[in-house]
Structure 1
């Protein structure tokens, strides 16, 4: 049967294992959309998910890659649709995810003529994508699609295929063995790279010589949980996870001290300050001030992204390889540590830290619900197999401090890009990736107002496809772009400015109810547990509208002099919520001091 280019491209992406795409239509991609529709009517297509905006489609493709390990695919029309996808593609680029974007273009004769919706898309996408190419002839369709998928998978980056409108409808036939014609392969290449044996031997020697070894584990170690735990067990190592690696190591591992840094734990800070060996496994952790001092620890890094080796710490050994494959080669060479005192110390400190986090969640604030109490209540009720997403902002602090993911659970966010609003498309994508499992989205009201609210419409449209319909959305409602307000105070010594920071209030629970979902408003601390209990008892969509305090400080595990001094400066300059900030910061710090005193004197 004869095919046109669009029909061939659809068959080719299916050959690459694609079963679901995220797209938004338009005339620039119209013939390809027609091929998608024709295949769907014949029962031979891919699942086409159409959210409310192209940016959401690209973020969903990124989330799809993160949750499934497959290539995420997003589709959009020419210039405006293509431009809208950029933010989501940068999320894929900065978090090392394989995504292929297929974007329309005006006809070939119009390229470079300044006609409507024609732009230089190859130039536009040159920075974000590892491969950008236009399918200019039917003979080039196969090699461009194959190269896009293969390159995205190997480099773990987004690739972009530009498909002009007239080329979409051209007849396609099998290319011949002719000059300038490539007959390409649709077979992927393996990324299970193992470093040379002599480097693995050096890695074992360094770890065996260490007395206080720390593993800093990132999302690049996904799929290698058992190897990480086995290696830590032999080396007597403590484990810290980067925020996106939170689900790589189960929370019930006693010497897993969660994250480090502003949204980390004090036991993780202990590890950084006292370790004599640090092993970075699949992480490009960006905060050098929270890594050991130069000369304090011997450093090793293992990463599949060679360009990200040796960027953050003067490592003694940089190893290009897959984390799981590298640890498989390493494990027989590791000596079993008899003295596990380092792990035991960290486990003791972690128990103290969890008690402190519990105390922080119990603090009452004058201007709203304690946000920590809300997230703690969610954490206490997380069902097995759940996916938890969090947004950029203070929700990331509460996620880091209070969410504990057990084996089989998933968690993720926009990491290095840290774009707002990603938590909603991530959570919705989790429902497509795991339709038989629940999902939880934690998001601030500012991010929810961006495009997050729109995605409740997407949920309504598609939720009948999910066997398990439980989706819990927790909106932290404080009418403030809270993270930025605190950054203004703590980083720059400036007061929060209402002109930029205030978020217009609205009834989020009521909005959810308009769409037929369960909406629950929480106005006081004593309503939190019942609201969260009700949400997880409901086999459907629930939005918890939590009216939380805007004055709760996202305190780091160790309050630096700079942090305290800049906050004081901001208050002296006339912070509009000065009284609440002073009072509530004092409460939070008092809770921390009390817990430290208890630990020091061994009292309950």
Structure 2
């Protein structure tokens, strides 16, 4: 018995073990959503905004290393997918997006809601095609899925409104088998890299997400070289737990120990990272880079030897070629510096900090009203969260506090828009993560600006009874933008947010809302939020003046902050007159 185009697509999703499809229903999608309605094992997740659908699908793809699926109907519905799909592209997450289109006879006539999908998705999709006849299914579907998985990114299949319910006469089952591959460089390249490493006295590793499958060999490599290990944010998951070589992150969210480890090295070894911030790479160092993608080699920092291959087999092949480093001074110095910094951060996050002499003096300048410190909130979440919790974080200060105070120990997972840098990603990604496993704790570190941007999908959480824990760092600011302005010597402008009581909003929408304004109430509120069944929105009013000091603050930055504060004071004084 022949099936429709829509039925073949939905049956194929079941074959791929897809359990959720995210989107907003609408005309051209009707044949597809009806097929989902009748399917066993696939749940339609109706979102309030298609951007949320794309973020949620990308989150599932990253957690499972399999295809995530979202849908957007004709015109605006497909346009709304774009930001979440760009995040999937930047995160190398395989996502299949089904986009609606006007009927074929209306194409090119500027029909109501008509958008050129092939042009719209040209920059973001690793594959895109429009189904114009039933005979193209399942062939186009196979190509879309294989391309999304092999190249790591979104594939977009556009289905016009008059195609989805047409019969597929050549009704064969699609085949999606795709064998995994693993590559390593040739022996001469490995010999040259080993020669350079053996000659170096102080090696520092910069380890990224691409090395996570090689954890044990990478730890053995650090031990062999006596090398401190600087982690990118995406490498926290996998390398932060039980790692005697780790010295934290570099970059704006990093710490002085990591910056020192890179600055004092004479050779940097980059493993599975495309860390993009050129200003944070030291100059005058020998550099070896290992990456599976050839075009990543050398595009951030000049490289002496580029090793194209997967990190696991490459490091395994390097290890027998390396001599043990006799001196551990470089490693020991970096680790000691990191432990001192980390101890200072723990003191700053302590509820008793502002009651001590140092805390009282500091509070005069940055917390005169004794508001809740975001560091204390992040540290308490880390203390009470489950060992297998999934964390998501909004771009900006929420990510800074997670980076510094939440440890990815045990089997914890971490998701964020760490390549695209989008606002409003934490809550949608938490939706995808929670649907993947309803019994697993999912905690979203939400900025107040990010949460309010897609606030409507709190109703999606309520509708599907998802026990997500939304922690709102409510500083009434676009905090990272404020920091950027003041660092440049500009007074804060346009960053202040006139927020509602988010806890009351959450309560009105069917979540458990908890609002915290007093530091003395914080610990109890965090424990209650994490232990309460069902969805919780924990709205914590944090100190908007709290600064994240860069690992290597410059004199110019210091003057910038000082000048900005003077300008802000003069402006506020003038406002009162």
- What TM-score do you get using the length of structure 1 for normalisation? 0.88
**Distance 1:333-1:472 versus aligned 2 partners, 3 A rule:** same
Match of 1:113?
Answer: 109
**Distance 1:66-1:347 versus aligned 2 partners, 3 A rule:** same
Match of 1:376?
Answer: 379
Deviation at 1:355, TM superposition (A): 1.4
Match of 1:415?
Answer: 418
**Distance 1:555-1:526 versus aligned 2 partners, 3 A rule:** same
In the alignment, the residues of structure 2 paired with residue 231 and residue 65 of structure 1 have an alpha-carbon distance, to the nearest angstrom, of: 30
In the alignment, the residues of structure 2 paired with residue 576 and residue 252 of structure 1 have an alpha-carbon distance, to the nearest angstrom, of: 50
In the alignment, the residues of structure 2 paired with residue 576 and residue 372 of structure 1 have an alpha-carbon distance, to the nearest angstrom, of: 29
Match of 2:292?
Answer: 304
Q: Is 1:126 the counterpart of 2:122 in the alignment?
A: yes
Once the two structures are superposed, the pairs formed by residues 272-287 of structure 1 within 5 Å of their partners are 272-287=262-277
In the alignment, the residues of structure 1 paired with residue 300 and residue 287 of structure 2 have an alpha-carbon distance, to the nearest angstrom, of: 10
**Distance 1:435-1:223 versus aligned 2 partners, 3 A rule:** farther
Match of 1:7?
Answer: 7
Where does structure 1 differ by over 4 angstroms across 4 or more consecutive aligned residues? Answer: 575-579
In the alignment, the residues of structure 2 paired with residue 366 and residue 235 of structure 1 have an alpha-carbon distance, to the nearest angstrom, of: 47
Match of 1:260?
Answer: 250
**Distance 1:22-1:522 versus aligned 2 partners, 3 A rule:** same
Match of 2:521?
Answer: 527
Does structure 2 retain, via aligned residues, the 8 Å contact 1:571–1:578?
no
Q: Is 1:554 the counterpart of 2:557 in the alignment?
A: no
Match of 1:62?
Answer: 58
Does structure 1 retain, via aligned residues, the 8 Å contact 2:3–2:171?
no
SS class of match (2:378) = helix
Q: Is 1:231 the counterpart of 2:227 in the alignment?
A: no
In the alignment, the residues of structure 1 paired with residue 174 and residue 569 of structure 2 have an alpha-carbon distance, to the nearest angstrom, of: 62
Match of 1:196?
Answer: 186
Q: Is 1:536 the counterpart of 2:526 in the alignment?
A: no
Match of 1:596?
Answer: none
**Distance 1:111-1:191 versus aligned 2 partners, 3 A rule:** farther
1:509 to 478, 500, 503: 503
Match of 1:154?
Answer: 150
**Distance 1:227-1:88 versus aligned 2 partners, 3 A rule:** same
Match of 1:457?
Answer: 459
Does structure 2 retain, via aligned residues, the 8 Å contact 1:54–1:85?
yes
Deviation at 1:567, TM superposition (A): 2.0
Please, which moves more after superposition, 243-252 or 281-290? Answer: 243-252
SS class of match (1:513) = helix
In the alignment, the residues of structure 2 paired with residue 232 and residue 455 of structure 1 have an alpha-carbon distance, to the nearest angstrom, of: 44
**Distance 1:173-1:199 versus aligned 2 partners, 3 A rule:** farther
**Distance 1:439-1:323 versus aligned 2 partners, 3 A rule:** same
Deviation at 1:262, TM superposition (A): 1.4
Does structure 2 retain, via aligned residues, the 8 Å contact 1:496–1:576?
no
Deviation at 1:269, TM superposition (A): 0.6
**Distance 1:578-1:407 versus aligned 2 partners, 3 A rule:** farther
- Name the Cα RMSD after superposition: 2.1
Does structure 1 retain, via aligned residues, the 8 Å contact 2:212–2:239?
no
Does structure 2 retain, via aligned residues, the 8 Å contact 1:488–1:496?
yes
Does structure 1 retain, via aligned residues, the 8 Å contact 2:2–2:171?
no
SS class of match (1:112) = coil
**Distance 1:147-1:218 versus aligned 2 partners, 3 A rule:** same
Match of 1:213?
Answer: 203
Once the two structures are superposed, the pairs formed by residues 304-323 of structure 1 within 5 Å of their partners are 304-323=292-311
In the alignment, the residues of structure 2 paired with residue 203 and residue 482 of structure 1 have an alpha-carbon distance, to the nearest angstrom, of: 43
Structure 2's unaligned 5+ residue stretches are 354-358
1:81 to 72, 77, 82: 77
2:471 to 469, 474, 482: 474
Match of 1:332?
Answer: 320
Does structure 1 retain, via aligned residues, the 8 Å contact 2:121–2:156?
yes
Does structure 2 retain, via aligned residues, the 8 Å contact 1:251–1:258?
no
Match of 1:485?
Answer: 482
Does structure 2 retain, via aligned residues, the 8 Å contact 1:24–1:75?
yes
SS class of match (1:246) = helix
Does structure 2 retain, via aligned residues, the 8 Å contact 1:496–1:575?
no
Query: Over residues 101-135 of structure 1, what are the superposed CA-to-partner deviations in whole Å (9 max), with x where a residue is unaligned?
Result: 11111111111111112121100100111211111
In the alignment, the residues of structure 1 paired with residue 56 and residue 192 of structure 2 have an alpha-carbon distance, to the nearest angstrom, of: 41
Deviation at 1:577, TM superposition (A): 8.2
Match of 1:582?
Answer: none
Deviation at 1:341, TM superposition (A): 2.8
Does structure 1 retain, via aligned residues, the 8 Å contact 2:424–2:451?
yes
Deviation at 1:184, TM superposition (A): 7.8
